[in-house]
A = this chain, B = another copy of it.
Amino acid sequence: MKPESSHAEPVSYSISDLSREFGITTRTIRFYEDKGLLAPERRGQTRIYSPEDRVRLKLILRGKRLGFSLDESREIIEMYDPAHGNVEQLQRLLQGIAEKRAQLQQQLRDIQSLMSELDEAEERARAALARNISP
């Protein structure tokens, strides 16, 4: 089910391979295909996932960790492949990249502020603990 030479990268994956590796259900993987985020090959009925499919899945899950919708993750993934023929499409692509970057910078700022607030909360909690333990 997972043809590999000795210790290198597998050539293909079954759906349960990927579900195990990433801790998601096969239903979820098929759902992503349904939404146009994956398009694995088929051997008869059975889905065969390539290393590229696996990378796409990783990108989707990373997007989820950042709070992206599946539509957003699909857009981001589509930014990678150079299927943007004409000038107008390329400029819209650049526009989309700029917007995503701005969004990510906002997230960075949000994380920074939350981080320092967590620091303060931890400070207070440790102080309260010290007071409660050794009065």
B122→A97 contact, CB < 8 A: yes
A2 interface residue (CB < 8 Å to B):
no
Name the one of B82, B115, B132 contacting A90, with C-beta atoms under 8 angstroms.
B132
Which residues on B sit within 8 Å (CB–CB) of A132? 86-87, 90
Cα distance A125–B86 in the bound complex, in angstroms: 11
The digit string for A83-97, where 1 denotes a CB below 8 A from any CB of B, is: 010110011011001
A24 interface residue (CB < 8 Å to B):
no
A118 interface residue (CB < 8 Å to B):
yes
A124→B82 contact, CB < 8 A: yes
Known: A125-B84, A125-B97, A126-B94. A118 touches B79 (CB 8 A): yes
Minimal beta-carbon separation of A58 from chain B (angstroms)? 10
**Interface size counted on chain A using CB atoms at 8 A:** 40
Most chain B CB neighbours (cut-off 10 Å) among A101, A114, A132: A114
Cα distance A84–B110 in the bound complex, in angstroms: 25
B118→A101 contact, CB < 8 A: yes
Q: Name the residue of chain B whose CB is nearest to the CB of A64.
A: B67
A117→B80 contact, CB < 8 A: yes
Minimal beta-carbon separation of A65 from chain B (angstroms)? 5
Minimal beta-carbon separation of A78 from chain B (angstroms)? 10
